[in-house]
Structures are given as structure tokens and as C-alpha cells.
Amino acid sequence: MSTDLLAALVPALPLAGAIALAALRRKLGANAAGGLATALVAGAFVASALLFQGFDPAAGGRTVKLLDWVRVAGMDIPLALRIDALSLTMMLIVTGVGALIHLYSIGYMHEDERAPTFFAQLNLFTFAMLLLVMGSNFLVTFIGWEGVGLCSYLLIGFWYKTPEYNYAARKAFVMNRIGDVGMVLAMVLLFQRFGTLEYDAIMDRASGVNDPLMIAATLFLFLGATGKSAQIPLFTWLPDAMAGPTPVSALIHAATMVTAGVFLTVRSSVLFELAPFTQDIILWVGTATALLAASIGLFQNDIKKVLAYSTVSQLGYMFVALGLGAYSAAMFHVTTHAFFKALLFLGAGSVIHALGGEQDIRRMGGLKGTVRTTYITFLIGTIAIAGLPLMSGFFSKDLIMAFAFQRSPVLFALLLAGALMTAFYMFRLLFLVFHGTYRGQAHPHESPPTMTVPLVVLAVLSVAGGLLNLPHLFGGHEAMKHFLESAAEGIRFENLALDTMTEIVLMTLTTVLVGVVIYIAHGRFAVKATLEGDEADMPFLKRLVAQRWRVDELYRALFERPFGWLSTNLYAIAENKVVAPLVRGVGDAALRVGETVRGIQTGNAGFHLLAMLCGLILLLTFTLMGS
């Protein structure tokens, strides 16, 4: 099969699934719909794997033109796909992890009456995400970018009968649109400078360090990235997005959509290299996000909210790597994070399924003997995200921290603090859910194989994922870095300049401190099962952190309430007292004029002849006066 056909099949298969499932949603059962959706995404994964197998890094990337799309006023933008190392990496993540999550969803959603609609939306999301990562130009990427935003809105609010879920969906949609404005403005500036939106052409022509236009364009691109990847200040939508079904959290908010900002920055890295000012902003925004989100995760009691803030924090680490120019480290962490965070979310969903919908970890405990497969796989995911040796998270996170130490020991210390908080809240979650005695009312039971098999596969990937970019220190060859470096044209990768002893000391220090934190967490939550009381009884600082630093309240005070007040008053005054009376007055005047004119339409021939004669006399009079 040709490369062009395979490339077209990758997004076409899930799109076909979305269309077919939407058309047949009233006729298909949950299992049939789930099976079809899973098979098509798995087919896209097979096509991606065949493209990867046949890809020659030495030959570089390939652009597959599907059709001429926009040709107007000097703008020539084709609908084309880019097949290179970067897009192939993302395609394998999206379709591989996506297929496992689709399979898991068959068991999770089998009792939902709208399951076929759910699978149609999952397939549509997969198509949009693939379009985003495969686009050969900014506009094709933007169509996929908007598509995942729309699908996120639909999936977060899937259980639309609950008002809080609808609010969460709207919040995600609006905050992502704020970021999207930045991306649109960036495209306008780039087209103005280069006359094209093709990645290859722009990266080849880009030049001039600290060019004001380049700084502006990259700042706008970063604004778009902060929306999709939940960085400060546009991060509050992601924890609320846990309102959607758990597979949605795993697919959209762990493995794919939230990494779109990281992908866009790596794809546009040539531009960011010309704007050191923007890179510094990315670095410190990522650092602040990693620390803020990690601190919030310390006191959360909703099992999915803990993982949500963990996702925001881990995305912060990825943006730190981007700010340091360590693009391969960022992509490595994107990959390993997709494995262990999808595993943790699906594990959380298995727990929720076992407890009949319970999400409060204070009403769990002692589940490790009842849901053994879920416990073992969740333990593996927890060890991986904590960064313990030889797990995937150990290699990817420590690589970012090594680059941070190379830049500044202070930056390393800040990221180390975030890593220690990560280990603490994740093992707190593990111990309160699975250890001790059961504190709830339900009757726990293990999930069906359709849910546990994806957990096992993701657990294996969470263990072995570090081999993808195993460093020289452990006998590896940094395969992922060299693959990206040799085939993703225009992307520069920074080399780690630390000596071997420094690397060993940093890894040892991090591992020892993480071990100490785990020991403390075990004593507090596994042995004693220390539960947090009411927020009102907490000390001020602890209560502030538990209340998510009251960022949502701040946003409501600064934006939501003023705009609500403005819209209410505009409706009451401008709409009801100005616009509505004006519109009614124009309509009433037209009716009165019509009634008056209608009164003279008598149908009398003599009257009409007289009117014509009068009109003729007036016309002649005006003509003579004008001459």
C-alpha cells in the first residue's frame, strides 16, 4: 500500500466511524458501536505503524497533498498532511492509546443508553486530533485544533442532564476559545510576513533573532498553547473537565488534546528559537504551573481531581523543557505521560465502576484485595509518575530536571519540589484508595476484561516506555531524540552537557528524597489512614491550597460576575428600553403607513386616471423648472 494512501487512511478511518455511528446511533447497541469505533481507531494505529515502519529518517519528511483547498487573493493553502518523525510520534500515541481507551469504554459505557453517540464523538475527536498533528500547515492544524475543542465540549458535557457538567463544558469551551484567538492572530502575522502558512516554507525562511514580529507571533502561539495545554492563566478548565465520563478524561485530558500545545511549540520551534524572550516566558510559566497545580493536588479528595491537577503539573514540566529548548525531552515526557496518566485515569475509572460511581477517596480504602488487577496496574502508574528508578517517568522527568540544573540550580530545586509533591499526593491517593479498611457503603467488584486488558497493556508501556529514549548513562542510545532530530526538519535539539557524575548525583538525590516522601505518605495514609477534615477547620494556608488557591473565585470576581452584570443590565436597559421599543416603533410606523396608503387604493378607474394626470403635471413642472 502506498505512503499517500496510508497517510490518508489514518484520519479517514475514525472520521468514517464518526459518520457511521452518528447515522446508526439509534439502531446499534452499546457493544456493537464500541466494537466498530475501537476497530476503526485500531485500524488507524495499524496504518500509522506501517507508515512508521516504512519511514526513512535519512530521506526526511513527506507531504501528502489531498486537494487544493484555499486559493484566493494570493493565498494558496492545500489540504495536505505532513509525515515526519514528529507527526508519526504523535500519530502512534493518539491512535495507540486511543484504541485502548476505546476498548476500555466498551465496558465502562455498556449500560449508557447514549453509548453509540459517545463512541461517535470519541471517533470524531480522534479524527480531529489526527488532523491537528498531521497538518502540513497552520490552517489544517487549526481546523483540527478547533475540532478537538468542539469534541471536548461535547464529551465533557456528555451527561448534559446535570447542570454542573454543562457549566464545566462551557467553561472548557470558552477558555479554549481565548487561547484560539492567540493562534489566529499568530497565523495572521506569519502570513503577513511569509505569504504562506506551510510549516516547511515558514521554517526555512524564518530569520532574525528578537525580531518584534517574531516575538509577537510566538507569544500568540504560546497563548494558544496555554489554552489547550492548561497552563497559567488558562488552566482552571481542565480539573472541571473531569465532569465527563472517565474515558474522556483519559483520552482528551491525559494523552492527546492537552499535549496539543506542546506539539505546536515543537513544530514551531524554529520560530521560538528566534524569540528568546518568549522562551523565557514559557519556562517560568511552566515552572509556576507545575508548582501551583502540584500544591493543589495535595489536599484534593476527588480521585479524578487529584489526577487532573497532576496532569496540569506534568504539562508544566513539559513546558519547562520547551522553554529550555529541550524539545526531545518534552516529547519524551509527552509519550511516557500518555502511558502512565492514561493508565491512572482508567484505573480511577475502574475504581469508580467498582464502587457504583463513588469518587471521594475518603469513602474508599482496602480495595487492593477486591480489585487486584486494578490495584497492581494503578500501583505501577503511581510509581511511574513519581519517577522511581527504571520506570518510564524516571527517565523522562529526570531528563527535564537535568536540563533545568544545567540552566540553574534554583530552577532544578523548584522542579524537585514539584516532583516531591507529586510523589506525596499520588501515594496518598494510592494508600487511601487501596490500603487500610474499606470506608464506603458499596460492594466493590473487579471490572470486566474490556476494562482491565487496556490497564495491563498501559502498565507494561509505563514500565518499558523509558526504553524509547534510554540515555547513554544506562547503556541506551537516546533513540527517540535521534529519530526526531534526524527526521523532523528545522527542529533543533539541545544536548545535555552535564558530566556523568553530576547526572548520577542528581538522580540519586531525587530518588532518595522521593523515597523519603513515600515513607512519610505511607505512615500517614496507609498505616493511620489520615483523612482531611472540613476545610473550615483547616489552618488558613492549608485551607487556601485546598480551595485551589481560590483561583476560580478570583476569575469569577474579575471576569464572570462583571460580564454577567454587564449583560444583565444591557438586556434590561439597552435591549428592553432602547432596541426593542425602536424595533416595535419601526414596525408600527410601517403598519400605519401601509394602512394609510391602502386607504387610497379604491379601485376606481377615474380616481387612478386623475392620479396619473396629477403625477404627469408634477413631472412636467419639475422638468421645466430644472431647465
Q: Are residues 496 and 359 in the same domain?
A: yes
- pLDDT for the residue 488: 60
Peptide bond into 233 cis (omega under 30): yes
For the segment 192-196, the average pLDDT, to the nearest whole number, is 91
- Whether residue 243 contacts residue 168, with contact meaning beta carbons closer than 8 Å, is answered with yes
Asked whether residue 487 carries a pLDDT value surpassing 80, the answer given is no
- pLDDT for the residue 533: 65
With bands split at pLDDT 50, 70 and 90, how would you rate the model's confidence at 491? low
- pLDDT for the residue 478: 87
Q: Are residues 568 and 473 in the same domain?
A: no
- pLDDT for the residue 511: 95
Q: Are residues 599 and 559 in the same domain?
A: yes
Parallel/antiparallel/unpaired status of strands 75-83 and 62-72: antiparallel
Q: Kindly state whether residue 272 falls inside one of the protein's structural domains.
A: no
Q: Kindly state whether residue 437 falls inside one of the protein's structural domains.
A: yes
Q: Kindly state whether residue 277 falls inside one of the protein's structural domains.
A: no
With bands split at pLDDT 50, 70 and 90, how would you rate the model's confidence at 73? confident
- pLDDT for the residue 599: 73
pLDDT (tens digit per residue) in 33-62: 999 999 999 999 999 999 999 898 878 788
Backbone angles phi, psi at 231, to 5 degrees: -105, 160
- pLDDT for the residue 619: 86
Q: Are residues 458 and 606 in the same domain?
A: no
Tell me how far apart the alpha carbons of residues 26 and 419 are, in angstroms, rounded to a whole number: 48
- pLDDT for the residue 518: 96
With bands split at pLDDT 50, 70 and 90, how would you rate the model's confidence at 539? confident
pLDDT (tens digit per residue) in 549-595: 888 888 888 888 898 888 888 888 888 888 889 899 999 999 988 88
| Structural domains of the chain, count | 2
Neighbouring-strand partners of residue 79: 67
Asked whether residue 627 carries a pLDDT value surpassing 70, the answer given is no
Asked whether residue 538 carries a pLDDT value surpassing 70, the answer given is yes
Backbone angles phi, psi at 521, to 5 degrees: -60, -40
Asked whether residue 264 carries a pLDDT value surpassing 90, the answer given is yes
- Whether residue 100 contacts residue 126, with contact meaning beta carbons closer than 8 Å, is answered with no
- pLDDT for the residue 549: 86
* pLDDT, mean over the chain: 90
Asked whether residue 443 carries a pLDDT value surpassing 70, the answer given is yes
Q: Kindly state whether residue 206 falls inside one of the protein's structural domains.
A: no
Q: Are residues 357 and 501 in the same domain?
A: yes
The secondary structure of 568-587, three-state, reads: HHHHHHHHHHHHHHHHHHHH
Q: Are residues 377 and 466 in the same domain?
A: yes
Residue 153: all three cell numbers together: 465540549
What letter represents residue 466's amino acid?
Answer: G
Looking up cell 460576575 gives 561
Q: Are residues 371 and 423 in the same domain?
A: yes
Residue 365: all three cell numbers together: 480504602
For the segment 71-82, the average pLDDT, to the nearest whole number, is 84
Domain containing 393: what range?
336-533
Cα 240 to Cα 58, 145, 148, 171, 172: the distances in Å are 44, 20, 17, 8, 8
Q: Kindly state whether residue 613 falls inside one of the protein's structural domains.
A: yes
Q: Which of 305-314, 424-433, 504-513, 548-557 has the lowest mean pLDDT?
A: 548-557
With bands split at pLDDT 50, 70 and 90, how would you rate the model's confidence at 80? very high
With bands split at pLDDT 50, 70 and 90, how would you rate the model's confidence at 116? very high
Q: Are residues 526 and 417 in the same domain?
A: yes
Asked whether residue 209 carries a pLDDT value surpassing 90, the answer given is no
Asked whether residue 493 carries a pLDDT value surpassing 80, the answer given is no
- Whether residue 422 contacts residue 294, with contact meaning beta carbons closer than 8 Å, is answered with yes
Share of the chain above pLDDT 70, in %: 97
Q: Kindly state whether residue 12 falls inside one of the protein's structural domains.
A: no
Asked whether residue 118 carries a pLDDT value surpassing 90, the answer given is yes
SS3 assignment, position 71? strand
A 10 A CB-CB count for 206 gives: 19
What letter represents residue 85's amino acid?
Answer: A
Q: Are residues 508 and 590 in the same domain?
A: no
Q: Are residues 526 and 563 in the same domain?
A: no
Q: Are residues 505 and 583 in the same domain?
A: no
Name, in order, each residue with C-beta under 8 angstroms of 257's C-beta and a sequence gap of 6 or more.
Answer: 125, 129, 148, 152, 228, 251
Asked whether residue 489 carries a pLDDT value surpassing 70, the answer given is no
- Structure pTM? 0.90
Residue 557: all three cell numbers together: 470576581
Boundary (domain end) residue, out of 469, 502, 533: 533
Asked whether residue 495 carries a pLDDT value surpassing 90, the answer given is no
- Burial pattern 138-171, b for ≥16 Cβ within 10 A else e, equals bbbbbebbbbbbebbbbbbbbbeeeeebbebbeb
Cα 498 to Cα 356, 407, 495, 504, 506: the distances in Å are 51, 11, 9, 10, 10
Q: Are residues 588 and 488 in the same domain?
A: no
Share of the chain above pLDDT 90, in %: 62
- pLDDT for the residue 598: 76
Closest by alpha carbon to 423, among 343, 310, 300, 545? 310
Asked whether residue 256 carries a pLDDT value surpassing 90, the answer given is no
Q: Kindly state whether residue 283 falls inside one of the protein's structural domains.
A: no
Tell me how far apart the alpha carbons of residues 78 and 171 are, in angstroms, rounded to a whole number: 33
pLDDT (tens digit per residue) in 369-426: 899 999 999 999 999 999 999 899 999 999 999 999 999 999 999 999 999 999 999 9
Q: Kindly state whether residue 591 falls inside one of the protein's structural domains.
A: yes
